[in-house]
Structure 1
Amino acid sequence: MSDILVLYYSQGGAVRDMAQLIARGIDSVPDMRARLRTVPKVSANCEATEPEIPATGAPYVELKDLEECVGLALGSPTRFGNMAAPMKYFLDGTTSLWLKGALIGKPAAVFTSTGSQHGGNESTLLTMMLPLLHHGMLIVGLPYSEPALASTTSGGTPYGASHIGGASDDRPITEDERKLCIALGKRLAITAAKLVA
């Protein structure tokens, strides 16, 4: 059984819900298993502000999670068209893996939730890809052969799964958004399985 890391930061819960749907898609592929992990909040001067072990939900990620997994799904809410600071802070600390080439050739996918239809979901997905490309990862998106990509009136892009949560992030994930999250997880897992073989 090979693990695919589903690494996310979620403040209002939408990105966490998306991560669980992506994990469902991963788990639907034989010999693949999702490993859910999150990152702690950081202060304005980039110091962790939460206890070492979260009280509930997914454990905090460690560098070994990235090294051990055969693929990565990376998720963050949008902050001014970019990933949230806690996720960027974690990725900035992965230089040791970059020096070893630990992630080269592993497939990766990205997902996000935004407050509005034009709130930066596509730019967030694109900027989340940049550190992954520097690590030598292979980016997996959503092809237009996914019917929900053509029918969605909310989130969903060829760059990765997305959700339009509204200003308070309490708008439920739509059926099309759900389908695209599951499809992205499944596509990532199928790609990883082919690369492992």
Structure 2
Amino acid sequence: MSYILVLYYSQHGATKKLAERIAMGIESENLEARVRTVSTEHPSVHHSVVSEQDLEQCIGLALGSPTRFGQMAWRLQKFMQNTSAQWLKGVLEDKPAIVFTSSSSMHGGQESTLLSMALPLLHHGMLLSGIPYSAPELHQTTTGGSPYGASHVVQNEYADKLSDDEKKLAFESGKRLARLARKLKE
């Protein structure tokens, strides 16, 4: 069965919430979303650890991490740096991908984190997709979301939940990824 891998690392649960919303968008397009993590060390994580097979057999990838000084978290970075075998085999070439992140402040480096996650995907030959400005939530959000990818800002009333705009942007990102994966697979 064809599936899209939603791979993330989450320390406090915010990135996990984005991953689950993206998975809902994928599944709304009648594709399986296989949600995996690189670490289960935190109690908020209830997903399996990613395997090489998960990565090699997916038809698309959503990659997410919390923002750490404008970069992806080291656990996700370490995982990506250990994908040389997949890179040599070209298993991710020509597959679509999106990136997503969360941070604890509005100007905490979300866009640079999204770009840092995009770099290894480009080396793998993946086809990156962002969020087009036709998404009305990009024009109205006062929390997370950018043309580079879905995001969440952990602040004020949104400390423990995604804002409506963040939910919609993450869901639509998943839908878009699923549609691209289906078209490319055809």
TM class by smaller structure: over 0.9
Report what 2:25 is aligned to: 25
Cα distance in 2, alignment partners of residues 21 and 65 from structure 1: 20
TM-align CA RMSD? 1.8
Deviation digits for residues 44-68 of structure 1 (CA, Å, limit 9, x no counterpart): xxxxxx5xxx996110001111111
Q: Is the aligned partner of 1:172 residue 2:161?
A: yes
1:196 aligns with 2:163: no
Q: Which position in structure 2 is the counterpart of 1:185?
A: 174
Q: 2:53 aligns with which of 61, 64, 68?
A: 64
Q: Say if 1:163 and 1:177, in contact at 8 Å, map to a contact too.
A: yes
Aligned 8 A contact 1:164 1:171 in 2: no
User: Structure 2: which amino acid aligns with 1:189?
Assistant: A
Equivalence for 2:39: 40
Contact persistence 2:12–2:44 (CA under 8 A): no
What is the correspondence of 1:84-95 to structure 2 with a 5 Å cutoff? 84-95=73-84
Change (3 A) 1:87 1:165: same
Tell me the distance in 2 between the aligned counterparts of 1:102 and 1:15.
26
> Identity of paired residues, percent?
57
What is the SS of the residue equivalent to 2:59?
Answer: coil
Equivalent position of 2:14 in the other structure: 14
CA distances 1:58-97 after superposition (whole Å, capped 9, x unpaired):
1000111111100000000000000000000100110000
Alignment partner, residue 136 of structure 2: 147
Question: Which residue identity does 1:151 align to in structure 2?
Answer: Q
CA distance in 2, matches of 1:178, 1:28: 14
Q: Is the 8 A contact 1:12 1:170 kept in 2?
A: no
CA distance in 2: counterparts of 1:166 and 1:70, whole angstroms: 34
Provide Cα deviations, 1:113-171, integer angstroms capped at 9, x if missing partner.
0110100000000110000000000001100001111110110000000110139x834
| CA distance in structure 1 between the partners assigned to 2:89 and 2:160 by the alignment | 42
Q: What's the offset of the Cα at 1:172?
A: 2.1
